[in-house]
Amino acid sequence: MDMKDFSLEGKVAWVTGASYGIGFAIASAFAAAGAKIIFNDIKQDLVDKGLASYKEAGIEAKGYVCDVTNEDVVNATVEDIVREFGKIDILVNNAGIIKRIPMCEMKASEFRQVIDVDLNAPFIVSKAVIPHMIKAGHGKIINICSMMSELGRETVSAYAAAKGGLKMLTRNIASEYGEYNIQCNGIGPGYIATPQTAPLRERQADGSRHPFDQFIVSKTPAGRWGNAEDLQGPAVFLASDASNFVNGHILYVDGGILAYIGKQPQ
């Protein structure tokens, strides 16, 4: 086995929504492996914050303002990237949102918004990038799925529906474009300590842990929440030549929670 297969030297990687959090951690790992980093966010101030974070980390990155739900804007952004960098070797569809609202209290417009960002956008961005990957003769697409690709839970009907759809979109891209040496896989994070999940980890007024925090730790064999850094190794693997015969796979990085039925009540 050649360890150079894990190198991303000379590769161009676009990670959507990577100003902070999971996307930033994945892009940072790609940079450490040798890739050139491109990211986007929906507003200029978020792109600027992202650029400042990359600079602080010693990473050279190019940021674009791009609404990944807008097909015209995405197409124009892809053309800009290819014009400047010559190619897109790696695409990570990371941008996403969640609305924690009981289903019967959720407006259809709110449901559609989650589906638009978490499912339609990966379709739009992948569709824009794939022709360039076909032309280059290779490509890696990584969709950030979720344990909610497999499980349901109260208040996340839209998110679970979107991530379940993203799992199947991942498999379909692999099926449709594998013959062009394009590998499309997913990463399914477990509960990761990010700003998005911060409300679920807030200490209560009496100093005790949030009930949901206690619940997740008890359900996870690793006995903790994941960190964004826990996703870096899996992402580099799926972006590298080491995974050239891995296609249509969802790699769950969840501390074992999907494999665990839980402890018997005392």
Select which of 159, 177, 191, 252 is catalytic: 159
First to last CA, the chain: 48
Q: How far is residue 250 CA from its own chain's centroid? A: 12
Cβ–Cβ < 8 Å for 93, 126: yes
Active site includes 159? yes
Neighbours of 9 (CB within 10 A): 9
Catalytic residue numbers, as ranges: 159
